[in-house]
Amino acid sequence: MTQFLRKLLNISKLLLFVLTISSCQNKQKEIYTYAVKHCDFIDKMSVIGELHPSKSINISCPRLRADATISYLADHGERVEKGDTVCILGSQGIVSKYDQAEADLENAKAEFRKTEARLQLNTQLLIAQKETIEASVSIKQLDSIQQKFVSSSRKRIIELELKKSELEKQKIVNRLNSLKKINKSELSQKQIRIKQSENRLKSAKTQLAQLLITAPSSGTFLRAKNRRNNKRMSTGDVLWGGAAIGKIPNSSFYQVKLALTEQECKRIEKGFYFEARMDSSKLVCGKIKNKASVGIPIHQKSEVKMFEVIATIDSLNFEPKPGQSILCKITTKEIPDAYVLPLLSIFQEDSTQTVYVEIKDKFEKRDIKIIYKNAVQAIVQDGFTDKEKVALTIPHNSLIVNNDSSNE
């Protein structure tokens, strides 16, 4: 019985030893490692941007002194040539004003003709009276030859009639002279009224012509956004003087517009380099020009804000379309001769950052000093050699060299 118990105890010890060895092997097999990279580190941030012309010819609603409604508007992105109609505005007030000005001019001209005819008639009547008196005087002068054969009283009557005729003639001549001045003044007033009506019609005609808006240059027409609903302009929208209708970009000058979150915006600075590839042959590269200091809420009452960032283009080897999206890779950090580690391999112990470096079948605990990190990687300047590997989890104490503490 005693011998049997001894054999059973020995078998139990052997089994325990085998299980311990197996456990250590399993723990070693469960540890994944990462090869430390020794290189010139470049950190890039990928964001979506849009290509936009940096220079454009803006098209706006003229100062009409009246609201206008869009009756026709060229499509967004439509190719137009210089002089093509891009927008037709409707304004009942301006049309009515033109019709009224046209009617006023016709009335003023008709009034002038009527007044001119009336004054000419009055003048002709006075001239006829003058000629009648002159004829009467001539007759009386012929009668004066016979004065030697008439009585003295009759002779006196003829003389008085001649004087009377001369006075009437002079009176008519004076009236004719006065009538000429009156006619000139009255016709001048009518002409002034015609001129005023012509000016009003010209002004109304100019405003009417402004309802037809043509392209100032050839290019791609882009509709503006309506400030009232933040949607692109369309037929039926009501405009006011100076309101933006659209623009025609200058295809020779482009820039990239980015909308970034506050955290993304903090990672970039003016002068940072970026590049974007549309495919193997299309390349865009440039630098960050400026970034907005104030964000714009993504919608009303939202606490999430987006910051506009503008990047200039140094190189562009294809003809882009306005509003075309591109994936930009912005270089945010460059560190030469650096060692790159995954954040998963770094462990915080008190105030020290530690990694476990693989040495054959064991791991060496090593303190490090991080000089830069992003969301997934950390950068150190020294403390490693090429081809070393670090553990992604903390190894078992039995696998850590020069470590006497227990970690069950």
Query: Which option is the CATH number for 62-91+212-249: 3.40.50.1100, 1.20.58.1690, 2.40.50.100, 2.60.120.370?
Result: 2.40.50.100
DSSP 392: S
How far apart are the C-alpha atoms of 389 and 34, rounded to whole Å? 5
The confidence band for 408, taking pLDDT boundaries of 50, 70 and 90, is: very low
Asked if the domains at 62-91+212-249 and 93-208 fall in one CATH topology, the answer is no
Percentage of the chain surpassing pLDDT 90?
Answer: 27
CATH of domain 46-53+252-334: 2.40.30.170
Q: Which of 19-28, 58-67, 119-128, 320-329 has the lowest mean pLDDT?
A: 19-28
The radius of gyration of the chain's CA atoms, rounded to the nearest angstrom, is 51
Cα end-to-end distance, the chain, whole Å: 37
pLDDT of residue 303: 84
Domain boundaries, the chain: 46-53+252-334, 62-91+212-249, 93-208
How far apart are the C-alpha atoms of 292 and 311, rounded to whole Å? 12
- As a dihedral over the C-alpha atoms of residue 103, residue 109, residue 112, residue 113, rounded to 10 degrees, the angle is -120
CA proximity to 117, closest of 14, 186, 167: 186
Contact (Cβ atoms closer than 8 angstroms) between residue 50 and residue 44: no
Token pair 């609603």: residue: 61
The confidence band for 105, taking pLDDT boundaries of 50, 70 and 90, is: confident
Contact (Cβ atoms closer than 8 angstroms) between residue 233 and residue 226: yes
Contact (Cβ atoms closer than 8 angstroms) between residue 393 and residue 31: yes
How far apart are the C-alpha atoms of 170 and 129, rounded to whole Å? 11
Q: Is the pLDDT of residue 389 over 60?
A: yes
Q: Which of 19-33, 115-129, 323-337 has the lowest mean pLDDT?
A: 19-33
Q: Please state the pTM of the whole predicted model.
A: 0.51
Distances (CA, A) of 152 to 161, 182, 337: 14, 45, 148
CA proximity to 307, closest of 319, 294, 317: 294
Average pLDDT over residues 174-188: 73
Q: Which of 31-45, 136-150, 219-233 has the lowest mean pLDDT?
A: 136-150
Q: Where are the beta strands (DSSP E) in 278-361?
A: 283-291, 296-297, 305-316, 325-342, 347-349, 352-359
How far apart are the C-alpha atoms of 204 and 211, rounded to whole Å? 11
How far apart are the C-alpha atoms of 273 and 84, rounded to whole Å? 40
Distances (CA, A) of 273 to 50, 268, 276, 286: 16, 10, 11, 6
Q: Which of 90-94, 106-110, 152-156, 389-393 has the lowest mean pLDDT?
A: 152-156
Q: Which of 29-33, 211-215, 237-241 has the lowest mean pLDDT?
A: 29-33
Q: How far is CA 223 from the centre of its chain?
A: 9
CA proximity to 333, closest of 379, 376, 290, 368: 379
Beta strands 78-80 and 37-53, pairing class: unpaired
DSSP 350: T
How far apart are the C-alpha atoms of 112 and 193, rounded to whole Å? 9
Taking only the tens place, the pLDDT of each residue in 75-93 is 988 888 999 999 999 888 8
Q: Is the pLDDT of residue 28 over 60?
A: no
One-character DSSP codes across 229-292: TSSB--TT-EE-TT-EEEEEE-TT-EEEEEEE-HHHHHH--TT-EEEEESSSS-EEEEEEEEE-
Contact (Cβ atoms closer than 8 angstroms) between residue 299 and residue 243: no
- As a dihedral over the C-alpha atoms of residue 82, residue 213, residue 86, residue 53, rounded to 10 degrees, the angle is 70
Q: Is the pLDDT of residue 8 over 70?
A: no
pLDDT of residue 112: 81
CA proximity to 104, closest of 201, 217, 218, 26: 201
CATH 1.10.287 fits 93-208, yes or no: yes
